């Protein structure tokens, strides 16, 4: 939290048309320094300016790696039974590759009883992971 | 892009959502009020932000006497999905806590199965004679795991050329 004195000083300096950098420097000289993010919040409020829309853009490249935004991927489980024995494929991926992998697995059951695999790997090489001649049972006896 | 054979094959396999971060519960043959009770208890005790209840199958029972309906009630299978992501050990803790406290045999079996697989799964597509699960109750925030789950359901039903039931 900022003290009342700090807030008053920021308001005063903003009215004089000083930039955030100048205000920060002045506050430090007066032993009223505060966190940059908090200072910017007050300066924006007093100057009536909105917060930047895409702050990610202004993060220097050397820090971007740590703050990389992870795109959530979809995870779909396809399960059923073959000759009364349950089989399950846990797929992860996104968009078209996941859809294609789902089609392939729905047509042919997997070789292993339990398989967790990326959608791209199945699409690239279906015979390696999927049975060629067997089919899923008509009425599956499998649990979630 | 859509494959017409996909819909025909969808009877022999089931499609669901899986991961290790989402807390999921499967109450079999229960009434909705009981499910709500346990969902609220788990939500407050483990500080989950919110939850969603999906109805996966439904059975209606009727007691008749000389053709006259004396009593009727509904029992169904419900899925509970919590909004806040949890690590696998906390996830297992929550699932086991509810299974032990509620003494629901179906839920206990479900939890054992998830522990064996080391990931939790719920069905989101249709089963042989059952429709896809539909939302019957919402509470609290819905912006994280629930949003992800509903997006996956939309993807699955879109792939099967079915309309989402909500």
pLDDT in tens, B99-157: 999 999 999 999 999 999 999 999 999 888 889 999 999 999 999 999 999 999 999 99
Could you tell me the residue ranges of all domains in chain B?
4-159
How far is B73 from chain A, CA to nearest CA, in Å?
26
Q: In this complex, do A98 and B148 lie within 8 Å of one another by their Cβ atoms?
A: no
CA of A87: which chain B residue's CA is closest?
A: B13
A144: nearest CB among B16, B152, B156: B16
Q: Answer for the pair A78, A91: CB distance below 8 angstroms, yes or no.
A: yes
Mean pLDDT of A54-70: 70
The answer on pLDDT for B7 being more than 90 is: no
Query: If you search the block for the tokens 């089931």, which residue do you land on?
Result: B14
Q: Residue B67: what pLDDT? A: 86
Mean pLDDT of B62-79: 89
Could you tell me the residue ranges of all domains in chain A?
4-64, 74-129
Segment A114-117 long-range contacts (CB within 8 Å, at least 24 positions apart)? A114/A87, A114/A88, A114/B117, A115/A88, A115/A89, A115/A90, A116/A89, A116/A90, A116/A92, A116/B119, A117/A89, A117/A90, A117/A91, A117/A92
Question: Which residues of chain A lie closer than 8 angstroms to B11, CB-CB?
Answer: 138
Q: In this complex, do A106 and B121 lie within 8 Å of one another by their Cβ atoms?
A: no
User: How confident is residue A27, by pLDDT bands cut at 50, 70 and 90?
Assistant: very high
Question: Which of A45-54, B6-15, B157-166 is predicted least confidently?
Answer: B157-166
Give chain A's mean pLDDT.
Answer: 88
Give chain B's mean pLDDT.
Answer: 89
Mean pLDDT of A135-140: 86
CA of B116: which chain A residue's CA is closest?
A: A114
Q: Answer for the pair A117, A91: CB distance below 8 angstroms, yes or no.
A: yes
Question: Which residues of chain B lie closer than 8 angstroms to A97, CB-CB?
Answer: none
A144 vs B73, more confident: B73
Mean pLDDT of A62-89: 81
Q: In this complex, do B148 and A142 lie within 8 Å of one another by their Cβ atoms?
A: no
Q: In this complex, do A76 and B17 lie within 8 Å of one another by their Cβ atoms?
A: yes
Question: Which of A130-134, B2-6, B17-21, B64-68 is predicted least confidently?
Answer: B2-6
Question: Which residues of chain A lie closer than 8 angstroms to B117, CB-CB?
Answer: 88, 114
CA B91 – CA B89 distance, rounded (Å): 5
Q: In this complex, do B117 and A136 lie within 8 Å of one another by their Cβ atoms?
A: no
CA A75 – CA B84 distance, rounded (Å): 17
Question: Which residues of chain A lie closer than 8 angstroms to B10, CB-CB?
Answer: 106
Confidence (pTM):
0.72
A132 vs B1, more confident: A132
Q: Residue A58: what pLDDT? A: 78
Q: What is the radius of gyration, based on Cα positions, of chain B?
A: 17
A140: nearest CB among B3, B13, B117: B13
Mean pLDDT of A83-89: 91
Q: Residue A96: what pLDDT? A: 87
Question: Which residues of chain B lie closer than 8 angstroms to A143, CB-CB?
Answer: 109-110, 113
How far is B150 from chain A, CA to nearest CA, in Å?
11
Q: Residue A82: what pLDDT? A: 92
Q: In this complex, do B122 and A102 lie within 8 Å of one another by their Cβ atoms?
A: no
Which ipTM did the prediction report? 0.86
Q: Residue A51: what pLDDT? A: 84
**Ordered alpha helix ranges (H), A1-143:** 4-15, 20-29, 36-47, 61-64, 95-107, 119-124, 126-129
Q: Residue A72: what pLDDT? A: 65
User: How confident is residue A22, by pLDDT bands cut at 50, 70 and 90?
Assistant: very high
A93-121 pLDDT, tens digit per residue, is 988 899 999 999 999 999 999 999 999 99
CA B25 – CA B27 distance, rounded (Å): 6
User: How confident is residue A63, by pLDDT bands cut at 50, 70 and 90?
Assistant: confident
């Amino acid at each position: 939290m900022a003290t009342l004195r700090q807030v008053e000083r920021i308001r005063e300096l903003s009215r004089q048309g000083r930039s955030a950098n100048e205000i920060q420097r002045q506050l430090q000289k007066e032993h009223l320094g505060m966190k940059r993010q908090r200072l910017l919040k007050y300066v924006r409020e007093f100057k009536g300016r909105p917060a930047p829309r895409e702050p990610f853009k202004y993060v220097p490249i050397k820090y971007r790696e740590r703050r990389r935004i992870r795109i959530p991927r979809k995870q779909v489980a396809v399960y059923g039974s073959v000759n009364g024995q349950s089989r399950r494929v846990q797929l992860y991926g996104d968009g078209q590759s996941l859809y294609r992998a789902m089609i392939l697995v729905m047509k042919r059951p997997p070789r292993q009883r339990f398989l967790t695999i990326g959608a791209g790997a199945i699409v690239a090489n279906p015979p390696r992971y999927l049975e060629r001649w067997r089919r899923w049972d008509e009425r599956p006896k499998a649990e979630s | 892009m859509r494959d017409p054979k996909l819909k025909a094959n969808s009877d022999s396999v089931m499609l669901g959502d899986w991961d290790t971060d989402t807390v999921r519960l499967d109450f079999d043959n229960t009434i909705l009020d009981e499910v709500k009770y346990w969902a609220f208890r788990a939500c407050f005790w483990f500080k989950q932000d919110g939850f969603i209840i999906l109805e996966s199958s439904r059975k209606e029972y009727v007691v008749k006497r000389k053709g006259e309906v004396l009593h009727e009630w509904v029992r169904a299978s419900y899925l509970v999905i919590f909004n806040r992501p949890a690590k696998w050990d906390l996830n297992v803790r929550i699932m086991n806590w509810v299974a032990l406290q509620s003494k629901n045999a179906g839920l206990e079996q479900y939890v054992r199965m998830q522990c064996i697989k080391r990931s939790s799964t719920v069905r989101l597509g249709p089963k042989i004679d059952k429709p896809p699960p539909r939302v019957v109750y919402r509470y609290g925030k819905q912006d994280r795991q629930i949003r992800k789950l509903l997006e996956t359901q939309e993807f699955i039903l879109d792939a099967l050329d079915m309309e989402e039931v909500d």
